[in-house]
Amino acid sequence: MGWSEYEVSLKIIREFVNQYVRTRARDIDRGAYPRDIIRKLGELNFLAPTLPPEFGGAGADTLTHILVVEELARASPGVATIMEIQSSMIAENIYHNGTKRMKEEILPKVAAGEVIVAFALSEPCCGSDAAAIRTRAEKIGGEWVINGHKMWITNGHYADYYLVAARTGPREARHKAITVFLLKRSNCVETSPIEVMGVRGTGTAEVKFNNCAASDDDIVGEVNGGWKVIVDTLNVGRTAISGVAVGIARGAFEEALKWARNRELFDRKLIEFQNTQFELAEMYASIETAKTLAYYAAYLYDINSPGFLIMSHVAKLQTARIAVDVTRRAVQIEGGFGYSKESKAEMFYRDAKILEIGEGTNEVMKYVIYKLIEKGQ
């Protein structure tokens, strides 16, 4: 694709953001779940843009996905996070690993935003050590019965389905005895909302599964083959969340630049001070670095390069750091106003922190990168 083709998508998504997202960003930050916005994204075929058109996507490449996520995050990181998960971690997962029934009956509804699916992996015992999960699925009388306790689940409070990772063998088997199920919400699911520091309005919740029934047709991938499904999902998700990082950094930078151009200090505009100029230059350079990493990781995924794996982790690690640093600088430039709830930079600062934790902490990224270096990748 030439850049002119990407510009067409950018024009559409920017108009969408200005019309539907920017005016609602504060309400979403206060906790309002933007289900109507998600549905409107689906109507544009931009909720899961990389899916083929017959499933409700736009047949776009991964860079288009990153650009859409980035533009959403410039206005509302909460909306961008929901979209990123619904697309890269759910829709793509079902498309590549789901059953024929899932693809025909559920996937188009996911892409349209008619149903919301939560990725239910983390547990009170196990965040970074996902292979130690305790949620269990047992085969009883021809059906699976799922019991367990998930934590920090984005979309969890409002989900219609859950992509649940459950243990289907002994705990000592760790990642070799995990299976992923696509479980429809019913009375067996209990959710409790969790108030979080940032990316509010994403329905983050504690989720409990109490004797939930599932069939073999609800398995995503294979029995005891869930670890590959999880890892592949997270690798793509880490690339997509790098786009969220770029969007957050850009949004904070734009707010700080506007403030510096208008704020008067000692009979001068704040932007006339060299220190302010240097800060803005550092922020801009960092954002361009983050863009390069995110876009390059997307490119490597699209060409099926073996270098994608390590680059997805590098992009996740570095863009998260950059987003936190750029938003911190934006708050500092705005001073007292930046510390108030009136400041959008303050919102971006809170939202940025999850990027160093969710979908793999900075520490996990460094661990994996080193392991891949040792393998010669």
222-238 confidence digits (pLDDT tens):
999 999 999 999 999 99
Q: For 315, left (φ over 0), alpha (ψ -120 to 50), or beta?
A: alpha
C-alpha distance from residue 133 to each of 125, 170, 214, 288, 363 (Å): 7, 11, 19, 38, 19
Q: What percentage of the chain carries pLDDT values higher than 70?
A: 99
Please tell me the total count of domains within the chain: 3
Regarding whether 263 and 127 lie in a shared domain, the answer is no
Strands 219-220, 178-184: pairing kind? antiparallel
308-327 confidence digits (pLDDT tens):
999 999 999 999 999 999 99
Strands 117-120, 161-167: pairing kind? parallel
User: Residue 211's domain spans which residues?
Assistant: 118-224
Regarding whether 203 and 232 lie in a shared domain, the answer is no
| Residue 278: partners with Cβ closer than 8 Å, 6 or more residues away | none
Regarding whether 325 and 288 lie in a shared domain, the answer is yes
Regarding whether 234 and 302 lie in a shared domain, the answer is yes
pLDDT band at 377 (very low <50, low <70, confident <90, very high): low
Residue-level pLDDT at 127: 82
Boundary (domain end) residue, out of 91, 116, 141: 116
Separation CA 273–CA 374 (nearest Å): 47
Separation CA 94–CA 62 (nearest Å): 17
24-67 confidence digits (pLDDT tens):
999 999 999 999 999 999 999 999 999 999 999 999 999 999 99
Regarding whether 105 and 8 lie in a shared domain, the answer is yes
Separation CA 118–CA 205 (nearest Å): 10
Boundary (domain end) residue, out of 208, 224, 240: 224
Mean of all residue pLDDT scores within the chain: 96
- What is the dihedral sign for C-alpha 169, 116, 118, 220? positive
Regarding whether 207 and 88 lie in a shared domain, the answer is no
Residues noted as catalytic: 359
Which residues partner with 94 through β-bridges? none
The enclosing domain of 268 has a CATH number of: 1.20.140.10
pLDDT band at 201 (very low <50, low <70, confident <90, very high): very high
The enclosing domain of 148 has a CATH number of: 2.40.110.10
Separation CA 98–CA 83 (nearest Å): 20
Q: What are 276's two structure tokens? A: 């302010």
Regarding whether 215 and 163 lie in a shared domain, the answer is yes
Residue-level pLDDT at 2: 75
Amino acid at 86: Q
The pLDDT of residue 291 is above 80: yes
Segment 178-198 shows an average pLDDT of 97
Regarding whether 19 and 109 lie in a shared domain, the answer is yes
130-172 confidence digits (pLDDT tens):
899 999 999 999 999 999 999 999 999 999 999 999 999 999 9
Helices (H), 263-361: 274-302, 308-338, 344-353
Boundary (domain end) residue, out of 116, 138, 162: 116
Regarding whether 216 and 275 lie in a shared domain, the answer is no
| Residue 206: partners with Cβ closer than 8 Å, 6 or more residues away | 149, 150, 151, 152, 153, 156, 191, 192, 194
